[in-house]
Structure 1
Amino acid sequence: MNRRYWKATFLCLFAMTAVLAGCHAYAQSDGAKHKSFIDSVNALSFQHITSNPVKTEPLLWKSKSLADSIGYHYGLAESLSGISLVLYYQGRYDESIEYNLEAIKVYERLEMFEKAGYAYAELGFRTRRRDLEQAESFMRMGLAILEDYHNSITQANAFNNYGLVKMEMNQYDSALYYVNRSLSIKKNQHDTLGIGYSYGYLGDIHLHLKNYDTAINYLKNAYKLKSLYQDSTGMSIDYQNLGEAYFQKQDYEAAIPYLRASAKMAFAVKYPLRAEFSYKTLSDAFEEMGRYDSALHHQEKFTELKSKRINERTNEKVAELQIQFETQQKEKELALKRAELSQEQLKVRQRNWFLGVMGGLLLTAFLISGLIFRQQKIKRENLKRENKLKIQLANAEMENKIHKERERISRDLHDNVGAYITNLITGLEISNLHLKNDQNKNALHLLTNLDEDARGAMNELRETIWLLNKEEVKQAEFINHLRDYIRRQKNYTQDLNIDLQNEVDAELLLNPAQSHQLLRIVQEALTNTIKYAEAQNFRINFKRENNHIEVELKDDGRGIKQEVDFMAGNGFKNMKQRAEELNGNLHIDSVAQEGVSIRLKFPLG
């Protein structure tokens, strides 16, 4: 029974995998075809799109829909940009801006900053007649991004757009500057059509400046270059501007042919807004010539086109609302049909769903339990290894502490008790010599001193135990203890004058380890001065600087002649090690016949 069950389960899983793989392969093949179509539509040139907006628009909408369905984000952004362009040339400005903004968002998500920068520049260009301040803001954003793409065609196109925005702001010098920058780049890049557009923009600017002859020259050159590419939309704009230039020159006869040709081309490329402008100027020209019947005829055409455009926008809005209403009605009908399903069908679906969910849950539970068991096993093994490592580390740390404690005891014996014992041995040898020479008085005096040394050694041992048993030591208590030590050393200091100065707060607390290391460093320095320095004065000064204590130990003796040998000695090494244990640093200076200066600095806490 179990073997049959597992065999059937395996066959089901294999069949599902095969179906999914087939679907995936089909989807990939279908996706490749869609991607090819999307790329071919988005590759349509600017002049093709603007010259055939009505034919191009459905292709772009299809491209957008397919790119969205297969997750082709770059194709989606390019389609949105193309749709925005088509809508702009059809006079549907609000929709054009909406899709331009959507394209920018996708470009920015894809980090395609050159595309995003130019899209911002296009947005500034298309909003210039509605909100100049916002248009300039968009233009600046685009140009800031395109600074990283210096002297590119994209940057040149943005300069052209900015030139027209500056023209609308009546900043004609700036307008000429940016369009000429664009023209320079386009000439270097041999962009013939782009040169034509720069000429057209320069003509438009000079037209506003009332430099009619210069404007006409630029506009004719622009038309000539655009005609090489059959750019009907651009040619229509240049003819309309030429007509406007002659109209403003009051050469109405010369203006009329250009305006008629502009209107004809605008109709051919489905650019009715441009035809509106041409008819309006034609009406004004005929009126100036006294040909009122022609003026009325073209005024009627202008009014007809304008009314049609407004009605089309209204009809589109009504149609959109109608579609929304019908969609809502259909959704309500579908909801009613779903509610009319029989209770038995719902039960069957619920049962099938329940069985499917239970099977999935059982399989999931089986997999999860296996994973949990494996994780628990790995966790137990890791815990064993961690505990073993902790024990090893604890043992190593304990051995290290024992080793350090041995080193510290060794240093203490050398620095203090060792010094006393050395004095005792030397004194006893000298006492024996005095006794052999019947110098009993000298022997007795020396034995008295040796008795003090023995008591001193005992005091040092007690002192060490006292420091280690304390939890904290006040600075004042430490200074008093140091004064007692100096007083006890008077028998050995002879004529050495010891000056102890304390500039640290008396209530400052030191921990026992700090007190212990600090006392031993001072004792070692004083012992070395007594033994070797032949000094008259020895100064000890404590002061505080921020969160540090500085200690200066200075004598006026003969200095250190063999400094290298001194640095290598046990005394200096011990002082250095004690400074390191205080997390501080120790510095020694010595000048012959001027003494030795030792500076210790360590942090509190």
Structure 2
Amino acid sequence: MKKTLFFLLISSICFSQSKNSIDAINKIPFQDRIKNASLLEATFLKNATDAYKINYQLGLAESYANLSLVYYYQGKYEKDLYYSLKAISLFEKNNEKEKLAKEYGELGYRIKKRNLLKAQIFMQRGMKIAQKNNFEKPLLGIYNNYGVLKEMQNELDSALFFYKKGLILKEKVNDKLGIPYSLNNIAGVYVMRKQYNEAIKLYNEALSIRKQIKDNVGVAENLSYFGDLYFAQKNYQKAISYYQKTVHDALQFNYIDLIQYSYKKLSECYELLGQPDLAFSNFKKYSEYKDLILNKETNAKIAELDVKYESNKKEKQLLQQEIEAKNSRNKLIAVSVLALFIGLIGFLIYRQQKLKNKQQEQEYELKSAISQIETQNKLHEQRLSISRDLHDNIGAQLTFVISSIDNLKFGNKITDTKINNQLTKISDFTKATIIELRDTIWAMNTSEFAFDDLRSRIFNFIEKAKSAKEDIDFKFAIDNKLKDIKLSSLVGINIYRTIQEAINNAVKYSDGNEILVNIYKQNNDIKIDVTDNGKGFDIENTNFGNGLYNMKKRIEEINGTFKIDSQTNKGTTISFSLNNK
């Protein structure tokens, strides 16, 4: 029955993009929009083509807006951003202020995890337009979604204010689809404030409405909220059951945001329950889905929109100044007497020249800004080109070396133990080189990344060390306070390489059976300790090799401090710290 309704609605959409057809699409249940995203994509692309042929600007803009939403559901975030920007440009050009306000608000909400600052700017633009023109419909979503941004910034009072403001509007118009969002968001703030009884009431009310309107994706979201509630109460087993239900439902609709969030929370639950294997397997799944959300070109696209928006704004201001200047000049000419005519002409020429100079200065600044952006884009393209060459050429050649060594060993049945061992060493060294090459490419392609990304890399390295040295007990601990800290690619790769070298030194030289890696926050510093319980050494009477020297140099390059503490038969600790102000 549900599919029949969907196809009837699709067939009713003509290229004219009438209001009724758009409303019909908006009434399709969320899960059906996701399942039938390909059909919707084809329909809106055809609508856009037909509207373009007859120069129907509004129909074209609405098609772009709907396409951006379809691509967002599919997890195609670059296309989502591209078509949303095109829709905004056309709505603004055609003075469709209500639709412009709505699109700004929706775009801001959809990019919140990729660029929170720009998300806030876009949503404020949409809110300002809607409030100024008393547009109630766009504000239904904008108030609620702006509250989400405030909650992400831990401004809970502001978040609660906007959530309740949005709920009042939705209840006024009986918006059954939107009311659960507001109820859940208000409940989320109550959870953060440990007002659990109030939160449960609102979650149950939202879940009841979503079941009533058969919003199955909304029901999946509500299950994750119950998981968050029990997680906050440290009832991790019950939280796990809800997150697992959420993953099961979200996978049916390919709801990427919800899938990756649930895997991350499952990893945290298992880690807190002392089950590292399950924590690691869920964290790997979270990382896979997280990569689908991150888009390296997103910030560049957002910056491009900003430049266009600000340039248009300046052009309008210059035009307004010229109009005012002409009116002023006409009035002066009309009331001036012949005796002042020559002086007036001189004054007007001077004024016009001043405006011209000012305009030239602004044009020069604009050209400089555009040139700087083009230079940054070229540098980014060069970095991508170099990383591709490293991966495709050097990576392939190293793989060929490994394959050739393996073929040589097993194809020729080499009996000489020394030759066989030497070939094995060359193969192992080549494999290690490939891993370091991949790490270098990873750092080159990322201008900045969170500590979560670094944690995943360290975790993988330690897992490989465990399999290579089963007689050593490896332990890895990282402070949860660090997970949202951003690092530049230079800082991140230097920290990672130093930890690698410290672990390798402990494995090779300590003769210990336990190695601990501890990363934590102390005041404004990030502290990292790599400790073994091995034989240690006398610092005063030992010549440090290249490994220790290189570690010290790496940390000093990123303005950190490096320290070695070792005592004979009492083990060694390599410590380094970075200021995080």
Report TM bin, short chain.
Answer: 0.3 to 0.5
Rg larger in 1 or in 2? Answer: 1
TM-score, length basis structure 1: 0.42
Higher relative contact order (CA 8 A, sep 6+): 2
